[in-house]
A = this chain, B = another copy of it.
Amino acid sequence: MSKMEGKSEAYKAAGVDIDLATQLLKNVKGRISATRTPQVLAPIGGFGGLYRIDLTKWKHPVMVVSVDGVGTKLMIAAMMDKYDTVGHDIVNHCINDIAVQGATPVYFMDYIGIGKMRSPLYEDVLSGCADACKAEGVCLIGGESAEMPGMYGNDFDLVGCITGIVEEDQIITGENIKPGHVALGICSKGLQTNGFSLARKVLFDKAGYKVDDRPAELCGKSVGEALIEPHQCFWKAVKSALDAKFPLDGIAHITGGGLYDNVPRILPEGVGVHFDASAIKNPPPIFSLIQKAGEIDPYEMFRVFNMGVGMVWFVPADRADEGLSIIRNAGFDAMRIGEVTVGDRKVQITL
């Protein structure tokens, strides 16, 4: 798993403690091993991870890959001294990013860059990654932890790299999205993994909130709890649709840039989408708190945040109810939020 920079007293004096890193990794090895599948060939600790493609299952396999970071949501974790959820954030974010193309996620790798290796932070982060992988049948096949005292100070960064597989003739591209299709929105539970630089500036710097504050708007949650709410993984819903051969003609994961920037990424020429913001059911109240505290224009809010929609599915209008049932049966809430129109690959939102 971790490949540190050599065992050495001189090194330890330079701020890099290999023995501690090795010990902490041992503490979570069981949870990492629990994610292994028969397709994984190498033991943990080799130079590279080995994953055998099962050609009895995949006829024309296409690897679908993505790399991403948790961003400054990590600073919320630090403010709360709570590190067990950020592993879920990065794994789930990564899986969603490839699920939109119809890929079955198969393996994941983590990178932790950190100023000072420490417990239980390191085990909490890695355990979160392992548990999130396990929950979706994904193997945590490798990773790297780099202790860099001069560079990260007291901070750390968490990066994930996901790989999935899809049959070449079953890649979801969005090219079949047509005027008349409807947009189903899967509800998010918070900011997911985007918009934290703005949220922190507004809530902490401008409005003066502390992570432990519980403004009435958050209905009992603290500011920290609302912000750190883990990114959900929507793969189970996508998988249900694929298994049922449901006509899922396009999927957009709503990350940074919100509906405005993410939906056009999958739209074919000649179509646009018209969303109705009022159709979004029970958006997490953290969004209105940010908007009010920052006096931010609703248009800008939708440009930065997911605003309560974690993923958008484009489906034929006459199959919308069936699509909603599939999503709900997979354990998520969802609603119809928009319509595909003739257009120029642009998104309009009635705010």
Question: A258 contacts which chain B residues (CB < 8 A)?
Answer: 6
Cβ contacts under 8 Å, A42 to chain B: 101
Known: A8-B300, A195-B5, A304-B5. A151 touches B157 (CB 8 A): yes
Q: With an 8 A cutoff between CB atoms, is A168 at the interface?
A: yes
For A322-346 the 0/1 string (1 means CB < 8 A from B) is 0000000000000000000000000
Mark A228-269 against chain B: 1 for CB-CB distance below 8 A, else 0. 000000000000000000000000110111101100011000
Specify which of B18, B100, B109, B256 is in contact with A65 (CB 8 Å cutoff). B109
B62, A51: Cβ atoms closer than 8 Å = yes
A48-B66, A72-B150, A101-B48 given; A11·B197 CB < 8 A: yes
Query: Can you list, as one digit per residue, whether each of A84-127 has a CB less than 8 Å from chain B (1) or not (0)?
Result: 00000000000001101101000101110100000000000000
Q: Which residues of B contact A53 (CB under 8 A)?
A: 53, 61-63
- Of B10, B48, B141, B305, the residue contacting A296 (CB under 8 A) is B10
Q: Is the CB of A304 within 8 A of B10?
A: yes
Residues of B close to A101: CB separation below 8 A: 42, 46-48, 50
B52–A60 CB distance below 8 A: yes
Instruction: Say whether B72 contacts A198, CB under 8 Å.
Output: no
A210 contacts chain B at the CB level, 8 A cutoff:
no
- Interface segment, one of A158-166, A181-189, A276-284, A312-320: A158-166
Give every chain B residue within 8 A of A159 (Cβ-Cβ). 67, 111, 113, 144, 159
Contacts of A5 in B (CB 8 A): 71, 194-198, 256-257, 304
B197:A149 contact, CB within 8 angstroms:
yes
Contact B60 A55 (CB under 8 A): yes
Q: How many copies does the complex hold?
A: 2
- Which chain B positions have C-beta within 8 A of A196? 5
Residues of B within 8 A of A143 (CB): 67
Does chain B have a CB within 8 A of A208? no
What is the distance, in angstroms, from A63's C-beta to the closest C-beta of chain B?
4
Contacts A6-B261, A65-B109 aside, 12 further interface pairs with beta carbons under 8 A come to: A5-B304, A6-B303, A15-B201, A46-B101, A48-B101, A49-B65, A65-B107, A66-B109, A69-B111, A71-B148, A72-B150, A72-B151
Which A residues are within 8 Å of any B CB, using their own CB? 3-11, 13-16, 18, 41-42, 45-53, 55, 60-69, 71-72, 74-75, 97-98, 100-101, 103, 107, 109-111, 113, 141-144, 146-153, 155, 157, 159, 161-164, 168, 171, 194-198, 200-202, 252-253, 255-258, 260-261, 265-266, 294, 296, 300, 303-305
The 9 closest A-B pairs by CB, nearest first: A5-B256, A6-B304, A161-B161, A6-B257, A48-B98, A14-B201, A48-B66, A48-B64, A67-B109
- A-B contact list, 30 entries, CB within 8 Å: A3-B255, A5-B257, A6-B258, A8-B304, A11-B197, A11-B198, A14-B200, A16-B197, A41-B168, A42-B101, A45-B265, A46-B101, A47-B97, A47-B265, A47-B266, A48-B101, A48-B103, A48-B164, A49-B64, A51-B65, A52-B60, A52-B61, A65-B109, A65-B163, A72-B150, A75-B151, A144-B159, A147-B197, A148-B157, A161-B161
